[in-house]
Structure 1
Amino acid sequence: MAPVEIAEDYPDTLLFIGGSWRSGTARIEVIGPSTGEVIGYCAKATISDLDDAVTASISGFHIWSATSAHDRAVVLRRAADILDSRAKLIGSQISAEQGKPFHEAVGEVLYSAEVLRWNAGEAERIYGRVIPCRQSGERLMVLPTPVGPVLALTPWNFPIYQPVAKIAPALAAGCSVIVKPAEETPAGAAALIRALHDAGLPAGTINMVFGNPDEISSYLIASPGIRKVSFTGSVAIGRLIGARAGQALKKATLELGGHAPVIVCPDADPVLTAQLSAAHKFRNAGQVCVSASRFIVHHSIAEEFTTAFVEATKLQAIGPLINARRVAAIDELVDEAVKAGAKLAHGGHKRPQVGFHYPPTILCDVPPSARIMQEEPFGPVAAICTFDDLDEALTIANGLPFGLAAYAFTDSSEAAELLINGLQAGIVQVNSFGLAYPEAPFGGIKDSGFGSENGIEGVQGYLHPKYAALARPVR
């Protein structure tokens, strides 16, 4: 087990509406996954609170969209500095509420500050264009214009990064935001909101609510004041959110689930690849949407790869899963895989202890038809199967409806090009497991959603092109 920092002063989290904190009329328990005990509460929004948030976001949009790009960037950079200065405190709160090791939680806070800084720069790079005219005395222009108030719906696995990945580009573009973070992990998001407020963000520009996710999303998506929805979560809920946004004729960005394949070619170094794989696979206990899940290894190096993977896994320290339901789901997937013919190379089965812990687990000789090869485990389980040629490997890798991230390892430039072109995913990485960099687009295809976060594409998602024509006065 990895060291989890239990914040002694874990805060109760309030709503933030119109520049003020409010308690609401009810509270929701926050359970610490390391112990399974209540560590705090977050406020639950009423319909009246939601109406106030929409009204505030409309008012905030009028102010913020009229603020110069330079001044918007100043606020975002100032908020980044504030996060840096509070990183250890916020990290301890995230570690307590989400369960990730303290060093990972602090790293998430520092990375979120990077996201703010990059989007601050991007705010100053939102350029329009002039179109060559067909007749004299006329000017044709395309003006990037903020879409309006945004609803951001975020999950629990990265309590501060998931909100900032939506809030930062929206603010850079000149939009206001209502964010509904996960009720399981409210403190990380609240720390981000506090940093933005302390940095001088105008009242109403950022608002935060908690409550019943289905009720909040349905009510706010239907509100005429909301003009865009950005959601990260499961495919099933993403379909529902997308349908609601489509019914209301509102733009949507959907970052949904994945089941990332890793193709390990026969010319790859099996030991080094296994060591990299273990470090990547068990980050945040495997509760990462781009986490490697299906290892498709050439049969000639499969045994050496598996042995090295097991040894590297023994060195990994991980925290608990988010709740007891995830532990039961992982245990069920592992049991079904073994019954289907897979071999348990390491770990497996929940150990009797407090909290929601599950050991790092490796399955080998997994049939491609096994449920764990079809369904994203979202936990600390690696499933290994073998292949004979690249066509077979690509068939296995592309055989699911998901297309978020895919990885491959090879020493051949020819194979690398074939894999980059052949893997059906929004993110393809060869010979590395890179992070979600602020400057690079992050998003999937097929059932993994549409639209991007990060990169110039992230900011563009919060803008619409306004075509303007200016001619001489008619006389």
Structure 2
Amino acid sequence: MAVKTEHYSMSIAGKWVGDELDTLDVTNPANGKNIGTVPNGGEKEADQAVQAAHEAFASWSERTSHDRAGYLKKLHQLMLENQEELAQTMTLEMGKPINESRGEVNYAASFIEWFAEEGKRIYGETVPTHKEGKRLQVWKKPVGVVAAITPWNFPAAMLTRKMGPALAAGCTVVMKPSSDSPLTAVKLMELCEQAGFPKGVVNLVTGSSSKFANVIMSNSNVRKITFTGSTDVGKILIKQSAEHVKNLSLELGGHAPLVVLDDADVDLAVKGTVASKFRNAGQTCICANRIYVHEKVYDTFNDKLAKAVENLKLGDGQDESVDVGPLINQDGLDKVKRHMQDAVSKGATVVTGGEPNTEGGGVFYEPTVVKDIDESMVVMQEETFGPVAPVQKITSDEEAARLANDTPYGLAAYVFTENVARGTKLIEKLDFGIVGWNDGGPSAPQVPFGGMKESGIGREGGHEGIDAFIESQYVSIGLE
């Protein structure tokens, strides 16, 4: 199913607006063709959206949790009914293979379903008193208006992982998707409208990220910022949040290590590596970026990984048989090329792949395995965000832990070993918020997602995911 090239609007206070504004083009990275335009909203539109959310907050927060869950369950149902349109939109605007896009829609919908139920479990407390004539209680209240800023690489799931718990908790939301992939957000906003959310409860602003940030950071009606993106931008938001002491949740950059010990099931390790590294063409925050393999299985692992990668089909994500799609834009391709050129210049050996492909206007890079890697190479110091698997030889569990932790980031890590004692001891040493043990795909709606060190603040998903949108209010009741 094709999506027409057309102009899309943004939604503020229950109305589709922005047609009078300048526009931003949205292009398909598989061929460079324009697939639509969105309004280039600025500070005025951001202010209007915040005001709409602020005005809607009182009535939405006073609804029962069961009532709010009803809206979310309707949205969940609509997402599943419109899975194909959402998936096709996603593939066209950011290149993800269509089967991955379908999977993301299901994953995104699962957050709406999970938090529809989790909102019913926001429990207060009665605390034993220390003094006669008093009763001590803890009440739970929604934090207020939430501004949600999301990246281009998961345009559905990153939104629902934020809006789901926010809405379930009684907050109202202003969403700002990436300008590289805003159309999926527009489609989700249409479904919110069909689900019957009251006007102003969910708002969508497209356009300038910097102007949007200026408004949400300076407007005291915005009490919560939830952001997924780069660590550099996250640090800016932290600084900007100081004036009004904004409540922040930040899911930032990653540089995930994947460790294969000598007792690992090599076939399972290869399968997990391919699943983690080449999903979305390596453009995921938790994908394996640094692969450390014990010297005893190093050659076997490289041979099997190369064969598996050579079987991956590169191409336009609309093709049902494609495994790896394009990179998001030319900047993304240039970064991959720079990393590879640096590695090869320092002695790395390309096992398979290693070449860009821009025929037909697309921005592709071949699925690549490169060995003879060491920590001096840029590919082991910076997140590549591309389909390149660099493999470094290690000699011990201690070296694996040292190299894995040698990064300012701490989002995700992967360990492959069949020995429970070794796996336990190694993982205990790893400073990462998410660890896949013999598992290349650890994400799920019912578990906490987030990082340590410079990879962020807070957790999304699981029962912890709704805590980020709740304030605890202590009430001391005097009865005498």
Counterparts of 1:266 and 1:285, CA distance in 2: 28
Whether contact under 8 Å (1:452, 1:458) holds in the other structure is: yes
CA displacement at 1:136 relative to structure 2: 3.4
- Out of 352, 355, 376, the position equivalent to 1:349 is 355
Whether contact under 8 Å (2:104, 2:157) holds in the other structure is: yes
**Counterpart in 1 of 2:388?**
381
**In the alignment, is residue 79 of structure 1 matched against residue 75 of structure 2?**
yes
Counterparts of 1:49 and 1:464, CA distance in 2: 28
Counterparts of 1:159 and 1:281, CA distance in 2: 19
Q: Deviations over 1:22-63 (max 9, x none)?
A: 124111110110111211101121332222111101011111
Whether contact under 8 Å (2:374, 2:392) holds in the other structure is: yes
**In the alignment, is residue 252 of structure 1 matched against residue 263 of structure 2?**
no
Relative distance call for 1:15 and 1:349 in structure 2 (3 A) is same
**Counterpart in 1 of 2:264?**
268
Whether contact under 8 Å (1:387, 1:393) holds in the other structure is: yes
CA displacement at 1:336 relative to structure 2: 0.4
**In the alignment, is residue 201 of structure 1 matched against residue 197 of structure 2?**
yes
**Counterpart in 2 of 1:229?**
225
Q: Deviations over 1:117-140 (max 9, x none)?
A: 000010001101100112333221
**Counterpart in 2 of 1:217?**
213
**In the alignment, is residue 28 of structure 1 matched against residue 24 of structure 2?**
yes
> Equivalent residues in 2 for 1:13-52 (5 A)?
13-24=8-19, 25-52=21-48
Deviates more, 1:317-326 or 1:194-203: 194-203
Q: Deviations over 1:270-315 (max 9, x none)?
A: 2331122113211110110000111100011000000000111122
CA displacement at 1:172 relative to structure 2: 1.1
CA displacement at 1:177 relative to structure 2: 0.7
Amino acid at match of 1:20: K
Counterparts of 2:46 and 2:457, CA distance in 1: 27
Q: Secondary structure at the match of 1:455?
A: coil
**Counterpart in 2 of 1:340?**
346
Counterparts of 2:158 and 2:29, CA distance in 1: 19
Counterparts of 2:10 and 2:442, CA distance in 1: 31
Relative distance call for 1:455 and 1:312 in structure 2 (3 A) is same
Counterparts of 1:462 and 1:351, CA distance in 2: 44
CA displacement at 1:322 relative to structure 2: 0.5
Amino acid at match of 1:247: E
**Counterpart in 2 of 1:98?**
94
Q: Secondary structure at the match of 1:30?
A: strand
Whether contact under 8 Å (2:143, 2:224) holds in the other structure is: yes
**Counterpart in 2 of 1:145?**
141
Whether contact under 8 Å (1:97, 1:184) holds in the other structure is: yes
Could you tell me the TM-score, scaled by structure 2's length?
Answer: 0.95
CA displacement at 1:110 relative to structure 2: 1.5
Q: Secondary structure at the match of 1:247?
A: coil
**Counterpart in 1 of 2:316?**
none
> Equivalent residues in 2 for 1:38-437 (5 A)?
38-316=34-312, 317-354=323-360, 355-437=362-444
Whether contact under 8 Å (1:57, 1:205) holds in the other structure is: yes
CA displacement at 1:400 relative to structure 2: 0.6
Whether contact under 8 Å (1:404, 1:427) holds in the other structure is: yes
Amino acid at match of 2:17: R
**Counterpart in 1 of 2:478?**
471
Q: Secondary structure at the match of 2:280?
A: helix
Q: Secondary structure at the match of 1:227?
A: strand
Could you tell me the TM-score, scaled by structure 1's length?
Answer: 0.96
Q: Secondary structure at the match of 2:359?
A: coil
Specify every segment of 5 or more residues in structure 2 that has no aligned partner in the other structure, as ranges.
Answer: 313-322
Counterparts of 2:46 and 2:339, CA distance in 1: 39
Whether contact under 8 Å (1:341, 1:367) holds in the other structure is: no
Whether contact under 8 Å (2:227, 2:251) holds in the other structure is: yes
CA displacement at 1:352 relative to structure 2: 4.2
Which runs of 4 or more aligned residues in structure 1 lie more than 4 Å from their structure 2 counterparts after TM superposition? none
Counterparts of 2:257 and 2:247, CA distance in 1: 30
Amino acid at match of 1:170: A
Counterparts of 2:36 and 2:187, CA distance in 1: 15
Counterparts of 2:341 and 2:45, CA distance in 1: 45
Relative distance call for 1:303 and 1:388 in structure 2 (3 A) is same
Whether contact under 8 Å (2:73, 2:116) holds in the other structure is: yes
Q: Secondary structure at the match of 2:153?
A: coil
Counterparts of 1:352 and 1:187, CA distance in 2: 24
Amino acid at match of 2:372: D
**Percent same amino acid at aligned positions?**
37
Whether contact under 8 Å (2:124, 2:138) holds in the other structure is: yes
Whether contact under 8 Å (2:260, 2:294) holds in the other structure is: yes
Q: Deviations over 1:169-199 (max 9, x none)?
A: 1111110111100111111111222222211
Amino acid at match of 1:464: E
Amino acid at match of 2:260: V
Paired residues, what number? 468
Amino acid at match of 1:373: M
Whether contact under 8 Å (2:42, 2:208) holds in the other structure is: no
Q: Deviations over 1:206-265 (max 9, x none)?
A: 111112111211222111110011111111111101111133201101100111001100
Counterparts of 1:76 and 1:10, CA distance in 2: 30
**Counterpart in 1 of 2:459?**
452
